[in-house]
Amino acid sequence: MNAEQILFILFGAVSLIGAIAVISFRHPIYSALSLIVTFFAQAGLFVLLGAHFVAAVQVIVYAGAIMVLFLFVIMLLNLGTLSAKGAIGTKLKGFAIILGILLAAEGIYIAVNALNDTAVASAEPAAITTTTYDIGELLFSKYLLPFEVTSLILLAALIGVIVLVKRDSEVEN
Amino acid sequence: MPIEINWQLLMPELIITLTLLIVLVFDLFDSISKAILGWMTIVGAGIALWVSIQMHQAGTVGTQFNDMFKVDNFSLFFNIIFLVSTILVALISMSYLSRDDRKQGPYYLLILLATLGMMLMAAGNELIIVFLGLELMSLSLYVLAGYFRDNPASSEAGMKYLLLGAFASAFFLYGIALIYGGAGTTNVPAIAEAITAPNKSPLLLAGMFLLIVGFGFKVAIVPFHQWAPDVYEGAPTTIAAFISAGPKAAGFAAFLRIFMEALPSLQVEWSSVVIVLAMLTMTVGNVIAIAQTSIKRMLAYSSIAHAGYVLIGLAAANNDGISSAMLYLLVYCVMNIGAFGAVILAKTEDGESLMISDYAGLGLRKPLLAMFMTIMLLSLAGFPPTAGFVGKFYVFKSAVQAGHIWLVIVGAINTAISAFYYLRVVVTMYMREPEEELSFTAYPSTLVVGLVLAAIGVLLIGILPSLMLTPAQNSVF
């Protein structure tokens, strides 16, 4: 077992534990903090894959900016501890557990089969582009259309938010 | 490294983008009447429609942006469906919104953004573009569903649609990731080349099923349909018409392209799933629709059932199946928007009349309204000489040719079931006396124009099916 494998197991385990902690805590702040742990562990996994830029973005954007917003919202709304009886009833809970186990079993089955699959193993890894220079060039050449469409999606999101939260001026008067 | 762009191929999309930017800028000026923004939307979509028809007739084919964006008769035919839906929805929206004059700008802007997203989905030759188009469309629709902020039902519809839609997008994206893992590419033709090998990677199969789940949510296929009735009922009626028409067609456009072009070698696996889903969708949609007392909810379940009929075309998986599914989607969009338009027309001074019992006695009191409603409902039920009959006929025919006799039998039984609840509304309008006298408001002229156009379309395709069938047959990839 080399260092890379040990690190993979470490990051993978931390990310899973963090994810389970997110849904186990009753207090939303603890859940949000657990989510940060998961994000950091995932950034570590990205580094192991050679995707340094994605790892940095993961830390800066997700663990940084988005989580701060989450925490602000939780603290401003003063959510407190969620009651033990959540939105899910006991009947649905059993159903959800069965479906969850089925889904997990399928996932494991696929993962084990995929490991033995020669086609996947022999597939060439994508050209590694880790510097911001390479990524910038790709965004404005090969991925120009997705890049431009993303800007339209942001426009739609921006307008949508304004429509939904803007106070009607008639109401104020 | 300069990129060569053939602007002519992108004309319909560019016109829509330009229109939405113009609407965005003109919305800033308070001195201009906001009603003009609706007309701008109609003119822009009309020009894009005309260009799409010209390109379709010329048989334009080409790819752009490193094979990511593919213009062919398939995408152009779907452009025609989307733009016809957009124009009809804009027409029926104008009178619906006039009470709330200030908020018209973003409304039309979001409709145009959603239309652009649909066009990208139909033209996407790359799973990333399909996903981005889907997100552009969905984000605009979430906001539109919750557009009437002061109405709790509308807010609930927007919230429900957002949560379930985001969930579906996650499934879709996970499916794309697994297919990328199995095939090593996200380009549609390249995926087809990569998986010609006899051993089918489990990653590909899992990705394919996740894609079916994602699409199933977006086009409301049973068992992923639960959001549809609540969203249609709560959303503004014009938006319910929009959601049930264009986005459903866009979902099927991407569904058809990805499954027929990228995953033909997995056809044995997916066609059996599609057959089961088609049977379930038709039966559940139609049976639950019988029990509805609200006309919007009834139309929601009927639109779920219609997705099942379109799936028959996909299950047939031959050229006739694809062209009949496309024809069906066009017909369905026109008649469904028409039916919702008739619901808007039946407005009383207390608001909309949404209960089926409110329609009692309308046949004599409001002959024009009752006539529109009857044409649309007969078409939805599939009676000749309406377009609905033509659509169903060709879908069933393609499935018989492909040997799916049982599927057609289930479809035919469902048509009979659906005739019951559609005709019940017609019977209520003409044969029952109203329990209380409702005072209906005057007909808005734009709404009547929209309904006349929809009715002409439904009858014209019904009488001269080759008018749209031949273009549809020329549009198979």
Which residues of chain B have a CB within 8 Å of the CB of A87? Answer: none
Q: How far apart are CA B456 and CA B466, in angstroms?
A: 15
Q: Give residue for tokens 């296929």.
A: B221
A172, pLDDT greater than 50: no
Cα separation, B80 vs B52, whole angstroms = 7
Q: How does pLDDT run across A112-168, given as a tens digit for each residue?
A: 776 666 555 455 555 566 678 888 888 888 888 999 999 999 999 999 998 888 776
The alpha carbons of chain A give a radius of gyration, in whole angstroms, of 21
- Amino acid letter, B203: L
| Residue A80 vs residues A18, A36, B289, B449: alpha-carbon distances, Å | 20, 19, 42, 55
pLDDT tens-digit map of B351-386: 776 788 888 888 888 888 889 999 999 999 998 889
User: What mean pLDDT comes out for the span B284-310?
Assistant: 92
Domains of chain B by residue range:
7-473
Q: Nearest chain A Cα to B126, which residue?
A: A146
Dist. CA B149–CA B158, nearest whole Å: 9
Q: Which residue of B has its CA nearest to A157?
A: B139
Q: What percent of chain A has pLDDT over 90?
A: 27
Residue B326: pLDDT band (50, 70, 90) is very high
> What is the predicted pLDDT for the residue at A173?
42
pLDDT tens digit sequence for A31-88 = 888 999 999 999 999 988 888 888 998 899 988 888 888 888 888 887 666 655 555 5
Helices B387-401 and B445-463: crossing angle in degrees, nearest 10, is: 40
Determine phi and psi for B321, rounding to 5 degrees: -60, -45
How many whole angstroms separate alpha carbon B115 and alpha carbon B310? 21
For the residues of B145-173, what is the DSSP string, one character each? Answer: HT--TT-HHHHHHHHHHHHHHHHHHHHHH
Reported ipTM: 0.89
| Residue entry with tokens 């089969």 | A113
Q: Which residues contact B208 (CB under 8 A, 6 or more apart)?
A: B175, B179, B263, B266, B269, B270
CA–CA separation, B245 and B337 (whole Å):
7
Q: Cβ contacts (< 8 Å) between B133 and chain A: which residues?
A: 149
Mean pLDDT throughout B6-33?
Answer: 89
Say if residues B321 and B252 touch (Cβ distance below 8 Å): no
**pLDDT, averaged across chain B:** 89
> What ranges in chain A are assigned the alpha helix state H?
3-24, 28-48, 52-57, 67-77, 90-116, 118-122, 132-140, 144-165, 169-172
- Which residue type does B179 have? I
Find the chain B residues whose C-beta atoms sit closer than 8 A to any C-beta of A. Answer: 1, 3, 17, 24, 64-66, 68-69, 102-103, 106, 109-110, 113, 116, 120, 128-129, 132-133, 135-136, 139-140, 142-143, 146-147, 149, 158, 181-182, 184, 197, 199, 201-203, 205-206
Helices (H), B195-318: 202-218, 227-234, 237-257, 267-290, 295-316
Structure pTM?
A: 0.91
Instruction: Give residue B199's pLDDT.
Output: 62
